[in-house]
Amino acid sequence: MALQLWEILKESIVAFTGLSPETFFTVLALGLAGLFGSLRDRHQRPRDYQEQMQPLPPPVQLVETSEDKLKQYDGTDPKKSLLANRGQIYDVSQRRRSYDVFLSFRGTDVRNSFLSHLYIALVQSGINTYMDNEDLKKGEQISTALMEAIEESQIAIVVFSKNYASSLWCLEEVAKIMECKEQRGLMVFPVFYKVEPREVRRQRQDYVYTEAMAKHEVKFGKDSEKVKRWKKALLDAGSLSGWPFMDGTSEAKIIEDIVKKISELKMYDVFLSFRGEDVREYFVNSLNEALVQKGIKTFMDSKNLQKGQDFPSKLKEAIEQSRMYIVVFSENYAESWWCLKELVQIQGEKNRTKQLLPIFYKVAPREVRGQNPQEVSGKKQSYEKALTDHESEFGKRKVKKWKEALSKAANVNGIHLHDGNMSGCIARIVKEMEKMMQRIE
């Protein structure tokens, strides 16, 4: 019985954290050691990092798919992994930017010291971080899971340590990372852990990286494309601005600086709140594209959220990390309690540096406030009716908060699209957001 429970526990750890049981308990032990302020720690970490780590499972993107397309899929495409659920599919192959940070490192050098501390600090700061499972790195062929994790990350942190270049896995990782930097805009930051940047960049006889590469040249050939690719990746990555970590460097300070930098990069300029079935295809997609083209970083939830699920932490984090908000009030906005929860969350985060711009898409502000319901498309559509229907499921107290949030937002000066005509309005919205950004900055 005990053996069965242990096997179930191991499977759960791998499923929910992506770590091997050994790595999970090592990291957990380090977190607990920090929690109780062990006096034997060589470097003291900041108090903010001393809580127990709570790893976040990576999100899976839900994409809208027709029933016909679902029926056509026969499972023969090895590159496409689908999970059917009530007429919709989870398309794992289309996941992009699933991780905020990918950590590349040599396990024997830093896994149970600096790297584990950094990982804990990133996760505790709400940064979705990929740290490989030790069991993945067996054999010489780098796993597909690692390659996909790099492609699905926004930022890569490469920890160059003494034995980094001795590992074929590490060299393949850094080569892939630099390719993604060039092709996908992946942001890359090196940490030079007890090695100097010039050791990573240049191949001199007295450098430890030179010795490691010489061994690879013997095995694969001095002029092999593989070795040339690795050398170029080391040169390019070693030339990037990062964090030096030499003897005497404060680990706590380095980790604090890294977390601060990554948190700043995670910030969104604009969070888009909208009812997908009303405006995603005909309005919001075009608006989002126009904002991005102007260099405005947006968060647009591409998931088709299902009724009955909990409000995801991913949305809460995105709202907290956004400086401005565009709320598109449309005919059916108030029918979605997801939208209403978003609006309450947005107003909870709104302060002097965070601005809200309402867009009234085929609805008037008075209707959003629950006044004077109008006839739309031959049937009565009113925010008042939608909120009344919510009372039976969520109770009057919660619905009262939603009503207050709607009324407050509807009183903000916004942009009106009474007939849904987008001619010139998207350019106007973009200009308005640029002005708001200037005021904030």
> Is 148 a member of any domain?
yes
Residues 376 and 419 in one domain: yes
Q: Is the per-residue pLDDT at 210 higher than 70?
A: yes
- The strand pairing partners of 299, in sequence order, are 271
> Is 351 a member of any domain?
yes
Residues 319 and 343: beta-carbon distance below 8 Å: no
**In terms of DSSP bridges, do strands 379-381 and 374-376 run parallel, antiparallel, or are they unpaired?**
antiparallel
SS3 call for 236: helix
Residues 95 and 152: beta-carbon distance below 8 Å: yes
322 burial type by CB count under 10 A (0-12 exposed, 13-18 middle, 19+ buried): buried
- The CATH number linked to 415 is 3.40.50.10140
Residues 44 and 144 in one domain: yes
> Is 250 a member of any domain?
yes
Which of 263, 292, 313 lies at the terminal end of a domain, its last residue?
263
Which helix (H) or strand (E) element contains residue 316? Answer: helix 313-320
Q: Is the per-residue pLDDT at 438 higher than 80?
A: yes
Residue 16, amino acid: F
Residues 394 and 411 in one domain: yes
> Is 229 a member of any domain?
yes
**In terms of DSSP bridges, do strands 268-273 and 153-160 run parallel, antiparallel, or are they unpaired?**
unpaired
> Is 238 a member of any domain?
yes
Residues 141 and 281 in one domain: no
Which helix (H) or strand (E) element contains residue 243? Answer: strand 243-245
Residues 112 and 238 in one domain: yes
> Is 230 a member of any domain?
yes
399 burial type by CB count under 10 A (0-12 exposed, 13-18 middle, 19+ buried): buried
Residues 365 and 400 in one domain: yes
**pLDDT value of residue 203:** 63
Phi, psi of 71 (to 5 degrees): -70, -30
- Of 148-152, 200-204, 381-385, 437-441, the range with the highest mean pLDDT is 148-152
Q: Is the per-residue pLDDT at 330 higher than 80?
A: yes
Residue 318, amino acid: A
Residue 319's nearest CA partner among 385, 261, 405 is 405
> Is 147 a member of any domain?
yes
Residue 313, amino acid: S
Residue 375, amino acid: E
Residues 298 and 382 in one domain: yes
SS3 call for 327: strand
Residues 291 and 249 in one domain: no
* Cα–Cα distance, 320 to 325 (Å, whole number): 11
* Residue 184 pLDDT class (50, 70, 90 cuts): confident
Residues 136 and 247 in one domain: yes
> Is 405 a member of any domain?
yes
| DSSP structural state of residue 360 | E
Which of 211, 246, 263 lies at the terminal end of a domain, its last residue?
263
Per-residue pLDDT tens over the stretch 43-101: 343 334 333 334 444 433 333 444 444 334 333 333 333 333 323 332 333 334 578 89
Per-residue pLDDT tens over the stretch 144-180: 888 999 998 989 999 999 999 999 999 999 999 999 9
Q: Which of 92-96, 104-108, 277-281 has the lowest mean pLDDT?
A: 92-96
* Residue 317 pLDDT class (50, 70, 90 cuts): confident
Quickly tell me which residue has 């001095």 as its tokens. Answer: 222
Which of 263, 297, 316 lies at the terminal end of a domain, its last residue?
263
Residue 212's nearest CA partner among 102, 109, 143, 114 is 109
340 burial type by CB count under 10 A (0-12 exposed, 13-18 middle, 19+ buried): buried
- Strand ranges in 151-211 using DSSP code E only, listed in sequence order: 153-160, 187-193
Residues 283 and 239 in one domain: no
Q: Is the per-residue pLDDT at 107 higher than 80?
A: yes
Residues 325 and 434 in one domain: yes
Q: Which domain holds residue 214?
A: 2-59+95-263
Distance of CA 149 to the CA centre of its chain: 12
State the total domains in the chain.
2
With the C-alpha atoms ordered 119, 121, 122, 128, is the resulting torsion angle positive or negative?
positive
Residues 14 and 20: beta-carbon distance below 8 Å: yes
Distance of CA 397 to the CA centre of its chain: 33
* Cα–Cα distance, 338 to 336 (Å, whole number): 5
Residues 314 and 348 in one domain: yes
User: What secondary structure does DSSP assign to 275-308, as a single string?
Assistant: -HHHHIIIIIHHHHHHHHHTT--EEE----PPTT
